[in-house]
A = this chain, B = another copy of it.
Amino acid sequence: MDVKIIVDAFGGDNAPLEIMKGCEMAVKELDVDIMLTGKEDVIRKVAKENEISLERMQIVDAPDVITMEDSASDVMKAKNKCSMAEGLRRLAADEGDAFISAGNSGALVVGATHTVKRIKGIKRVAFAPIMPKDKGFFMLIDGGANIECTPQMLQQFGIMGSAYMEHVMEIKKPRVALANIGTEDHKGGELQHQAFALLKSTDLNFIGNIEARDIPADAGDVIVSDGFTGNVILKLYEGVAMTLMNKIKDIFMASVSNKIAAAIVLKDMKKLKKAMDYNEYGGAPIMGCAKPVFKAHGSAKAKTFYNALRLTKAYVAGDVIGEISRSVAEFDKDDSAE
Contact = CB atoms under 8 A, between A and B. Distances in A.
Interface in A198-218: 211-217
A239 B214 contact: yes
B189 A244 contact: no
Which of A189, A240, A254, A264: most chain B Cβ within 10 A? Answer: A240
A239 to B, nearest CB: 4
A216 B148 CA distance: 26
Given A148-B190, A179-B232, A240-B240, 20 more contacts: A134-B243, A134-B247, A147-B181, A181-B231, A189-B228, A213-B236, A216-B236, A216-B244, A217-B243, A232-B232, A233-B236, A236-B236, A241-B244, A244-B276, A247-B276, A251-B265, A251-B269, A252-B265, A260-B261, A262-B265
Q: This chain: how many copies in the complex?
A: 2
Given A232-B229, A233-B232, A264-B258, A216 B188 contact: no
Nearest to A149: B189
A147 B235 contact: no
Contacts of A227: 181
Chain A contact surface mostly:
helix
A247 B134 CA distance: 8
A133 interface: yes
A247 B276 CA distance: 10
Given A212-B236, A237-B236, A239-B213, A248 B247 contact: no
A257 interface: yes
Which of A217, A262, A265, A275: most chain B Cβ within 10 A? Answer: A265
A189 B191 CA distance: 15
Interface in A146-174: 147-148
Nearest to A240: B240
A272 interface: yes
Interface residues of A, number: 53
Contacts of A258: 264-265, 268
A248 B260 contact: no
A232 B251 contact: no
A169 to B, nearest CB: 20
Nearest to A190: B148
A275 to B, nearest CB: 8
A246 B272 CA distance: 11
Contacts of A272: 247-248, 251
A144 interface: yes
Contact of A238 (B133, B213, B269): B213
Nearest to A252: B265
Contacts of A239: 211-217
Contacts of A247: 134, 272, 275-276
A216 B189 contact: no
